[in-house]
Amino acid sequence: MNRVVVLCYHDVADGASCDASGFPGPAAASYKVEPKIFRAHLEALAAVRIGALLTFDDGGLSAYTEVAPLLEEFGQRGWFFIPTSFIGARGFLSKVQIRELSERGHTIGSHSRSHRGRMSAWPWEKLSAEWIDSVATLAEITGRPVISAAVPSGFYAPPVAAAAACAGIQELFTLEPTLRTHRVAGCLVRGRYTIKRRTSARAVVRLVAGSPLERGRQFVFWNLKKAAKSALGAWYPRLRESYFAWHDGARV
């Protein structure tokens, strides 16, 4: 299973109602795939019979209304990573919906408690609290152990995995586009290939099939972004939001 390609989606929502599910704003919208495009992704993967692990970050309402029904139509199940502070908030999954998704065979994992800040720079006590609290909350909702998690916004560092392991998490997903895995304190750390709003079905198939060009693009972009995060520090999220706001306005 370690060599299975893992895809990272967020919400599935059309352009007119992007803010109705998950985090609002143009930056978040750039990761929200339209339902008809998501269906095309599933159809393309089914046609070529290539398996992939489909994960979904942020715990947006579309996980219940759009994603799970489509996955089940194609005989698949998803991995949904939930930031627990947003459970029940407008545009996010409720406790009842999370429990039902789990009962329907989907995997429920942690996406931290707050989904805020640069997790890779946090002190141990804060890291531990984020993972322990979120895992406990989700376990209480589902009635099952929560042993998987995804790092919010790609802010990964080895202490993040070590703290996750202490919270009982056995498998931690990052946003690094790689098939390589490693272990930190017994926790398996795995990369993912990110799917964005304009990712075509053809590009998804190429990613899963092992296209050097498609995977190379993600590798280059990821490392450029990683360097920017390191250089800009706390300024990175602010500048990112400003860019997307400007870009969205320019398109209008």
Give the domain extent around 128: 6-251
Of 190, 195, 197, whose CA–CA distance to 205 is shortest? Answer: 195
Render 184-232 in DSSP notation, one character per residue: ETTEEEE--EE--TT--HHHHHHHHHT-HHHHHHHHHHHHHHHHHHHHH
- Token readout for 145 is 């152990």
Residue 113: give its domain's CATH number: 3.20.20.370
Q: Cα(99)–Cα(138) distance, rounded to whole angstroms? A: 9
Q: Is 96 inside a domain boundary?
A: yes
Per-residue pLDDT of the chain (252 residues; tens, 9 = 90+): 457 899 999 999 987 788 999 999 988 999 999 999 999 999 999 999 888 999 999 999 999 999 999 999 999 999 999 999 999 999 999 999 999 999 999 999 999 999 988 899 999 999 999 999 999 999 999 999 999 999 998 889 999 999 999 999 999 999 999 999 999 999 999 999 999 999 999 999 999 999 999 999 999 988 887 777 677 666 656 665 564 554 454 443
pLDDT tens digits along 193-228: 999 999 999 999 999 999 999 999 999 988 887 777
Two tokens, residue 89: 């908030």
Q: In this structure, are residues 31 and 10 in contact, taking their beta carbons and an 8 Å threshold?
A: yes
Residues in a beta bridge with 198: none
Is residue 158 in a domain? yes
Residue with tokens 């995060």: 229
Pair 181, 4: CB distance under 8 Å: no
Q: Which amino acid is at 182?
A: H
Longest dimension (CA), the chain: 49
Q: Per the domain annotation, does 161 fall within a domain? A: yes
Q: Which two tokens stand for residue 139?
A: 């376990």
* 1 inside domain: no
Instruction: Kindly give the residue spans of alpha helices, DSSP state H, lying in 104-186.
Output: 124-142, 158-166
In a domain, 197, yes or no: yes
Residues 79-93 pLDDT 10s = 999 999 999 999 999
- 111 belongs to a structural domain: yes
Strand partners, 175: none
Among residues 7, 31, 29, the alpha carbon closest in space to that of 20 is found at 29
Alpha-carbon 180 to chain mean position: 18
Residue 160 resides in a domain: yes
The whole model's pTM is what? 0.90
In angstroms, the Cα distances linking 196 to 104, 116, 204, 217 are 26, 21, 10, 13
Please indicate, yes or no, if residue 150 is contained in any of the structural domains.
yes
Cβ distance 189 to 151 under 8 Å? no
Count of domains for the chain: 1
